[in-house]
Amino acid sequence: MKMKIAFDCLPGGLRKAVTMSFDDGKLADVRLAELFRKYGIKGTFHYNSANVGKETYVTDAQIREIGAYHEISAHGATHPFLDRLPVPVAMQEIMDDRRYLEPLAGKPVRGMSYPYGAYSEELKTALRAAGMEYSRTIKNTSEFDLPQDFMEWHPTCHQSHDIDGLWQRFYNKKKHIRVFYMWGHSYEFDRDDSWARMEAFCEKIGGREDIWYATNQEIVDYVTAMRRISLSADRAYAYNPSALDVWILAEEKPVRVPAGKTVNLEKEING
């Protein structure tokens, strides 16, 4: 009898992840990064490198500090409509971000969000060639599914959405991998006087044992590793060629397939 296998688990055998994605690098990022950290929530901050250090924008030192816990990501050096630029210039915008941000992050910057949410097929191909592994759009889905193509990663909702209602719908889902993915701009909390509302929301959703709090890139890395798992034809063995542990469901039971290892699933299930 062939085992029932599903690629439907996050790290630790969890089903749900929360991730945050905030653009433009205004000074309110510092407060928002701290708020997330207080409740154990991880986020990704997308920067326009040409604006860093200008009045009302974060400084190098602040980016370094935010990056110690959260993810530092790109957003186009000068915040252009990337899809309206010649492709080499659009690539330059992202390479400029990488060159500026990577020394602050202390690691390669492999992700971004599209300024104004604007993209095209040609642009996606070019940005992949510039080292990008994901890019967030501004198309709110009110859903929680993983994207087929991470270069077109549609978020769940904007920060101004009826988040409590969405959260309840998300939290009630028990099957399959689900990601609650919020995006926005930290300065909007100042503008709309909505910090207290956001803090109440973070308090509600943070610190839960059944949720994986991850940066955008951590989700991409895990899902990429999961999609690379090889199964033997009889489904008895799973091989994980990646550098991350992956959990898969065998007969409804989460089984850890350690990085670089082969696991006998039948043995794991039958003991």
Residues at the contact surface with Zn ion, assessed by CB under 5 A: 23-24, 115
Nearer to Zn ion, 40 or 117 (CB): 117
Residue written as tokens 């077109």?
152
Structure tokens at 63: 């980016």
Tell me, what DSSP letter sits at residue 179?
A: E
Residue with the shortest CB distance to Zn ion: 23
State phi, psi for 23 to the nearest 5 degrees. Answer: -105, 160
Of the pair 91, 112, the CB lying nearest Zn ion is at 112
Least gap, CB of 240 to Zn ion (angstroms): 37
Residue number with CB closer to Zn ion (190 or 245): 190
Q: How far lies 15's CA from each of 1, 26, 148, 182, in Å?
A: 26, 33, 18, 18
Secondary element (H or E) of residue 170: helix 163-172
Spatial separation of the C-alpha atoms in residues 107 and 98, rounded to whole Å:
10
Distance CA 101, CA 58 (A): 12
**Nearest approach, Cβ of 12 to Zn ion (angstroms)?**
33
Chain-centre distance of CA 258, in angstroms?
Answer: 22
CB of 251 to Zn ion, least distance (A): 46
Nearer residue to Zn ion within complex by CB, 23 or 83 = 23
Residue 72 or 223: which CB sits closer to Zn ion? 72
d(CA 237, CA 267): 9
Among residues 147, 46, 156, the alpha carbon closest in space to that of 101 is found at 46
What is the closest distance, in whole angstroms, from the C-beta atom of residue 211 to Zn ion in the complex?
A: 27
Residue with smaller CB distance to Zn ion, 100 or 144: 100
Least CB distance from residue 25 to Zn ion, whole Å? 9
Q: Where are the beta strands (DSSP E) in 48-121?
A: 71-74, 111-113
Q: For Zn ion, give the closer residue by CB, 23 or 71.
A: 23
Smallest distance, Å, CB 36 to Zn ion? Answer: 19
Q: How far apart are CA 152 and CA 134, in angstroms?
A: 7
Nearest distance in Å: CB 79, Zn ion:
6
